[in-house]
Chains A and B, each alone.
Chain A
């Protein structure tokens, strides 16, 4: 039985030309995989590979055992319903001129989720409830939301189409401590309850340690270390991992410092 999302020896190149990968990983519902590394270590490029946004040079990325298609065809839409994305700065990823309801119903329609308007409305209400937002938030526009509400709305958008695996790329960088904890608890709850699987990309080891079962350490585009999170953080083998762990011990990580 293969995992829902699996990468097998997947490599690509940075925009600059340096190689990223090969990456091997597998994620299932109820499971959280952390990808950590310094800025520029290739985390975002790996995310783009997993989502089918970057052509691979070798290896494959599989969804339910079949390669993740690129583009906007029917096959791609089917995958994008279940394999969704929470970008960096999730609040900024909401169009300021559209209501939260519109932000959530649009993907339902574009990705061809079954059901009429009423069924879609029900899905929106359910997704908002899942992230702890009140129904009246649906009719507001992002500029009128608080930072936490906007973050939750963006996560609701990732869930609404029936996500099975969510890829989150540093979604809490730039948040203050309290807000970060809210988002972490929310995602942890969704994973533990068996609703989604999570690929969690971050340079914030504290957050990653709280959330993830397994870790994968990237350095200069290559996977340099992997293993269960608690083991890896207690006994880092690779210098890159050690540097991350030491930076965490010396003081607050950048994400832990209120950014605004």
Chain B
């Protein structure tokens, strides 16, 4: 009974995702009719009759099944519907956006591969010299840490404003490609490089490496074999990183005004233009599935004829590096200082000159409304981290609960691991409107998955303990076995794991705030601060640097904290999906 239930759960999860996309207009209900009425017939009163007329015109009155069937059959015919706002067909615009996003994604992949190669080479050389070492150093840590929306803003500041080498906005010629590709590719490459370097280092401790080197296989041959040994074990996570590019693209396209899928979808979500949103989501999901499929094919090619589980995974050695620990502690301390200093000041009063530069009395400067940026960053920490704590707490409970039903939850866990929070944020934002609870819900909807995967792996391990296997014979029923004997064993490690995810969740929340899918002005949320500041980046760079600095500190703390997590012997299955904190993906692994 093992496989069918898990397979059914996977199929159900995919159907559920497709179903949610298909019935989006119905889910949003009256809210959408109101939006459309205002967009198209600004002069008409929002009377119940007028709203009903709009609903009938949009086909919202036909119930979920009718809407879903209409939309799905339209998709099969290549008809993606018409925009609610502009009244024009959706398909041509979507096709153009797909072309743009594909170009950008491929360029970003190229960047990522180069970065990953640069990070792996030192690890490979050390391994071949017989001194395998853990980790990839500070460069990779910082690269992995920067979420795309932040990196994009920083690149815009440096590459387009200060250096003036690249055009800041648009998508007209090849000159427009490098900055977005770098913003998207650098963090992905950093994570890929880190994963691969760790896997290579782990593989290098296996006895065959020494045998090869001693028996006269050259360093190149051994190096190639090492890579081939290491790659399959991280292929699953590589797949997640590549799929995560689709989420990261939303923020990057927004920052650089690239007319790709992400920007199209984001615009549609903010204006509740659901047919456009549906088409964009469909294209994003297809793109993600294609990327994931390509990685799967590559993995198969690498493994040759061997079935996936037949090869023991090369596991990273348990190594918390002192430098990572120092980095995490340092970042946390610095951040705490800023937050405490900021909390003592008033974040809402416009008591200073507009865009006042940093000074002794105003260490971070003032924003466009003359508000104290230090105060806003400090208070923003409380709301962002507070929300993150709440989200993580709920996700821990859900993760523990669903971890107890591993086969039933298999599909949702995989979907939750793969779907970037930004994509969920788009859907939730379009349905509920932008707000902190909506952003929290969106991030929570995917953040439970790695915790559930971890919990179910730990449970399976605990179930195999001899003192648990014997319990049914001693009269312990199923419920009691789970609640009294298994959960207490599993809860500790899962809660510790959840704590490590708090910074990553905070970054995901900030990303949604940055995109206008979370907190609303004037609340001092970090992502929102960054978005507000980016309009003045040329005149007053400090408006960006203050929130960006805080976010970088959180990100560095997040990524270095993950290397402190103890690794478990069953990490091949237990290893929580590694994700980059930030826009593209959820928390750190």
Q: Which residues on A are within 8 Å of B, measured CB to CB?
A: 51, 53, 72, 77, 80, 84-85, 87-89, 92-96, 106-107, 110-112, 157
- Interface core residue of A51, A84, A107, A112 (most chain B CB under 10 Å): A107
Does B76 lie at the interface of the complex (its beta carbon under 8 Å from any beta carbon of A)? no
Given contacts A72-B477, A72-B478, contact A93 B472 (CB under 8 A): no
Q: Chain B 452-476, CB within 8 Å of chain A: the 1/0 string?
A: 0000000000000111111011111
Cβ contact within 8 Å between A111 and B467:
no
Cβ contact within 8 Å between B475 and A84:
no
Would you mind naming 12 contact pairs between A and B with Cβ atoms under 8 Å apart? A51-B473, A72-B477, A72-B478, A80-B474, A84-B473, A85-B473, A89-B466, A106-B474, A106-B476, A107-B474, A110-B476, A157-B474
- Interface core residue of B468, B472, B476 (most chain A CB under 10 Å): B472
Cβ contact within 8 Å between B475 and A93:
no
Cβ contact within 8 Å between A93 and B466:
yes
Cβ contact within 8 Å between B466 and A92:
yes
Cβ contact within 8 Å between B477 and A96:
no
- Interface core residue of B466, B474, B480, B485 (most chain A CB under 10 Å): B474
Q: Which 6 A-B pairs have the closest CB atoms?
A: A110-B475, A111-B475, A92-B466, A107-B474, A72-B477, A95-B467
CB neighbors of A among B421-477 (8 A): 465-470, 472-477
Q: Chain B 542-558, CB within 8 Å of chain A: the 1/0 string?
A: 00000000000000000
Q: Which residue of A lies closest to B485 (CB)?
A: A95
Q: How far is the CA of A88 from the CA of B472 in the complex (A)?
A: 16
Q: How far is the CA of A204 from the CA of B474 in the complex (A)?
A: 27
Q: Which residue of A lies closest to B476 (CB)?
A: A110
Cβ contact within 8 Å between B467 and A107:
no
Q: Which residue of A lies closest to B479 (CB)?
A: A72
Q: Which residue of B lies closest to A113 (CB)?
A: B475
Q: Which residue of B lies closest to A142 (CB)?
A: B467
Contact among A53, A72, A92, A95 for B475, CB-based, below 8 A: A72
Q: How far is the CA of A155 from the CA of B468 in the complex (A)?
A: 16
Q: Nearest Cβ distance between residue A146 and chain B, in whole angstroms?
A: 18
Q: How far is the CA of A88 from the CA of B477 in the complex (A)?
A: 22
Q: How far is the CA of A8 from the CA of B485 in the complex (A)?
A: 36
Q: How far is the CA of A106 from the CA of B466 in the complex (A)?
A: 17
Q: Nearest Cβ distance between residue A60 and chain B, in whole angstroms?
A: 19
Cβ contact within 8 Å between A87 and B474:
no
- Interface core residue of B466, B473, B478 (most chain A CB under 10 Å): B473
Cβ contact within 8 Å between B474 and A110:
yes
Beyond the given A87-B466, A107-B474, please list 11 additional residue pairs across the A-B interface where CB-CB is below 8 A: A72-B472, A72-B475, A77-B475, A89-B466, A93-B466, A93-B470, A96-B467, A106-B474, A107-B475, A110-B476, A157-B474
Cβ contact within 8 Å between A80 and B473:
yes
Q: Nearest Cβ distance between residue B520 and chain A, in whole angstroms?
A: 49
Q: Nearest Cβ distance between residue B471 and chain A, in whole angstroms?
A: 9
Please give, as numbers and ranges, the residues of chain B lying within 8 Å of A112 by CB-CB distance. Answer: 475
Q: How far is the CA of A129 from the CA of B270 in the complex (A)?
A: 75
Q: How far is the CA of A111 from the CA of B469 in the complex (A)?
A: 16
